[in-house]
Structure 1
Amino acid sequence: MPTCRHKGCSKEFELLSNAEDSCQFHPGVPVFHEGYKFWSCCKKKRLSFDDFMKEPGCSFGFHDDVPEIEKENSSETNAVSEYSEIAENVSNNQLQLDNLSLSNPSIPIKTSDFFPKPNTISTTSNTPKTNTPSEIEDDPEGLIVEVGSNCRRKGCTSKFISKEESSSETSPNSICTFHPGQPVFHEGSKGWSCCKRKVLEFDEFLKIKGCKKGKHLFSKPQLKNVHVVCKNDFYQTQDSVIVSIFAKKVIKDKSTVELNPKSEIDSANSSYKVLSTKVELILKKANNVNWPALNPTDKITTWTTFGKGDSPLPEVNKKTTGLYGINVVPNPRPELISLYKQTLEELQSKIPKHAVYRQATEALTAHRLSIVNKHEDVAAIEKELDAGQIEQVIIAAKDELSLIPKMAEWKPWEPLEETPVEGQWDYFKKAPVRE
């Protein structure tokens, strides 16, 4: 029977039963770019060459045993013209070098300083690296193979006929000629890592004869347990930590989640969910202490408090910025100073010129910045701030702008007009939370 020559098909067919939808093939050309392998007609990218070869066609039509006519002026012609242009440029540069006149002839220049001698080049540098496996897989004894099964070795197109014909050592059809290496695609050339032959056309690459002989391999590939590191992320509430492990198609029946009984987790009230794209862990905190990271070795850059506990960062003082408990993290960015001044000036311009009103506002600002409440002078407060605290000033100042309209309703200063600023805050912190 004739064999179809369409890309992605290569099946034997009968002329009488050849219909308009008998052949499933790729009308485009193979594309290899930055490690990806795909067909120009369907754009589904693969990393493995075997997966690329198994990609089903995206079009249907009649089987055809006539090979496609290659276009003239193919990439081989383009490559020749490209190399000719490079050679011409090299020769022109050599002529310019020969005609170069030295402005200081007393300084000798050796051409060996620019062009190494041929014998200085290591002979091993041009030798292609082989990626042959240490152990070649063979069919297990007693394997039952279906008639017509293809040999799985790279470069072999033989099919299983019978055990005596395809597996017996006395049969010439039992000899498998294959490539033990991996396909290599580099700058338009195509070849195998185990042999030196390189071609430009993909069809010619498929025709490269194997460089090693052995037995056919008809058994299906065995699934092996491979350790895969999955991406993860987490967020937390006051009493729980929710961890997302991004892993698609997790087999729920074969998956287990183990919790360390010595960790700060209430394992009895913790749970997990196996979803289609991830595994979600709901870890119940044993003491409502904040988690800066999942692992103690992770680099901690910020820290937001929800419940009990101080910042674990050694460089952060045990100070919080008031109602929301945002710790001050040093961030040496001097460019924030001008923004800090501008923000406070904007804040002061919107505060009514009422002495007690201003005292209450400054008391609130001072407390949220973890500065001693007696500092009423903005310049004095500025001297005690570093670049990291300045960044938090911006957040506090914006909050103050939204709190100022509410202060007229709360009037926290009225019962305590004669008390100092520090005492006024004791009453002001009992005011209702802003909407």
Structure 2
Amino acid sequence: MLDDDVHPTPHLPQDVIPGGGHTYSKGDDQFPANAPRFLERGEGAIVWDDQGRSYLDWTMGLRTMSLGYGNADVIEAAIEQIRLGSNFGRPSRVESDAAADLLNLLPHAEMVKFAKNGSTATTAAVKLARAYTGRDLVALCSDHPFFSYDDWFIGTTACDAGVPEAIKRLSLTFRYNDLDSVRRLFDAHPGQIAALIMEAATSEPPRDGFLQGVQDLCRRNGTVFILDEMITGFRWHLNGAQAYYGLAPDLSTFGKGIANGFSVSALVGRRDIMELGGLRSSQPRVFLVSTTHGAENHALAAMRATLRVFSREPVIEHLWNIGGALIEGLNAAAADVGIAAHFQAAGYPCSPVYACRDSEGAVSLPLRTLFLQEMARRGILCNYLAPSYAHTAADVVRTVDAARDAFIILSRALDAGWQSLLEGVPIKPVFRQFN
């Protein structure tokens, strides 16, 4: 029997959890020393820590809370399904209904397989592509930050410990907006590349027909074109970034905000490829995604409710508007303080990014940490900027006002150094060889 008195909570989460969290993006090395250690509750765009302190949150559960914390429609749909049952020994109708809902929004997808996280979906897409083409190599965009925790991707990063060299050699990389780098891969490995996987965009817009050029190269070379829409899906456009950019990927992956915080990811795509993981193909059987909790009924009910809100309300328009106002306000505040050259908010309004730069113009993690520290001191969490349907114009004003004060501190750091102003140590890149 567990007894809190016998087994008290350790002083540090890292005592019982490697890294202190279950995604490295939540680790202590990604936050300033004064950031809340635990977040316990959320409502709208506000979160509370275990000490009862409240914060305006722009991280929104690493972009999962697309509608905001505690959305009533989503919560009620999940609870209603929980009362009926969360998991059974045969499929439930909610699985087919959820699949139909999603496919109705994605004109180039014909089948869907649900899972619980993005890595499962992207790795399943790569496996399908290899089975469909009979090839081994995978091409991926090195400018996009994350595709999977599995070896085919992690082996291309600095954090590649535990990945066999033979696996690393199967993954090739190209650069975003560099169509020649994609051509060179196909020329160097004719008839060998099973799949090419990328995001449609992160912060940099595609130039000169780049996306269509990549898709055409895949078609001409018999390579499966996989579009990772974990972030772009239901943020760029109701029908995905593939609709926004006029693409027709063979396979796509979705997740993040698709179920407003409930754990749902999806692999969708062409029937002839997806059926390799089914029961009706005459080809060698692909053991695709087989997870006990992959289609938890309450999570799929939450996804259906989330997509209904997206379909009937101007969610995506709101994300673009709020994010645009935030970018404009932050840059204006930086200019007011005289550090416009050292802080820039940019990217797509629905998914903004920002950079802190030192006196030489180089991206500075110590200055970014100092900015996060001063924002947290003023009740703002902004490691990521993920506008949600719950954010308001007043939230933008509050954030910009806090940032203006933080920029004054950054200005001092640019003049006299950050060391005396920063509590603790600077944040570090997630992908690094040593701690």
Scaled to the shorter chain, the TM-score interval is: under 0.3
Structure number having the greater helix percentage: 2
Q: Between the two structures, name the one with larger relative contact order (CA 8 Å, sep ≥ 6).
A: 2
State which structure, 1 or 2, has the greater radius of gyration over its C-alpha atoms: 1
What TM-score do the two structures reach when normalised by structure 2?
Answer: 0.19
What TM-score do the two structures reach when normalised by structure 1?
Answer: 0.19
